[in-house]
Structure 1
Amino acid sequence: MYRITTETAADLWEVEALYDTCFAPGRELLSSYRLRDDVPKIAELSLLARDEGNVLAGAIRYWPVRVASTRVLLLGPVAVHPTRQGEGLAALLIQDSLERAAALGWQRVLLVGDAPYYQRFGFSKREGVIMPPPTNPDRVLGLSLGEEAWAGVTGDVTRDIDP
Structure 2
Amino acid sequence: MQQFGIRPEEPDDWWEVEALYDLCFAPGREALSSYRLRDDVPPVSGLSLVARDGQGILAGAIRFWPVHVGDHDALLLGPVAVHPTHQGEGLGGFLIHEGIEAGRAMGWDRVMLVGDAPYYARFGFSRLSGVEMPPPTNPDRVLGLEISPGVWDGVSGLVTRWTR
Q: Classify the TM-score, shorter chain.
A: over 0.9
- 2:132 corresponds to 1:130: yes
Which aligned pairs between 1:33-72 and structure 2 lie closer than 5 A?
33-72=35-74
Aligned residue identity for 1:123: F
Report the Cα distance in structure 1 between the residues aligned to 2:37 and 2:15, rounded to whole angstroms: 21
Match of 2:148 in 1: 146
Report the Cα distance in structure 1 between the residues aligned to 2:113 and 2:31, rounded to whole angstroms: 16
Match of 1:83 in 2: 85
Match of 2:6 in 1: 4
Report the Cα distance in structure 2 between the residues aligned to 1:43 and 1:87, rounded to whole angstroms: 26
Report the Cα distance in structure 2 between the residues aligned to 1:110 and 1:54, rounded to whole angstroms: 30
CA offsets 1:114-135 (integer angstroms, 9 cap, x no match): 0000001000000000000010
Superposition TM-score, scaled by structure 1 size? 0.98
Superposition TM-score, scaled by structure 2 size? 0.97
Instruction: Give ranges in structure 1 of 5+ residues lacking alignment.
Output: none
Report the Cα distance in structure 1 between the residues aligned to 2:149 and 2:90, rounded to whole angstroms: 28
Percent identical across equivalent pairs? 64
Residue correspondences, number? 162
Report the Cα distance in structure 2 between the residues aligned to 1:96 and 1:62, rounded to whole angstroms: 12
Structure 1 runs, 4 residues or longer, greater than 4 Å off: none
Match of 1:114 in 2: 116
Report the Cα distance in structure 2 between the residues aligned to 1:73 and 1:62, rounded to whole angstroms: 6
Aligned residue identity for 2:132: I
Instruction: Give ranges in structure 2 of 5+ residues lacking alignment.
Output: none
Aligned residue identity for 1:65: V
- Provide the secondary structure at the position in 2 that maps to 1:142: strand
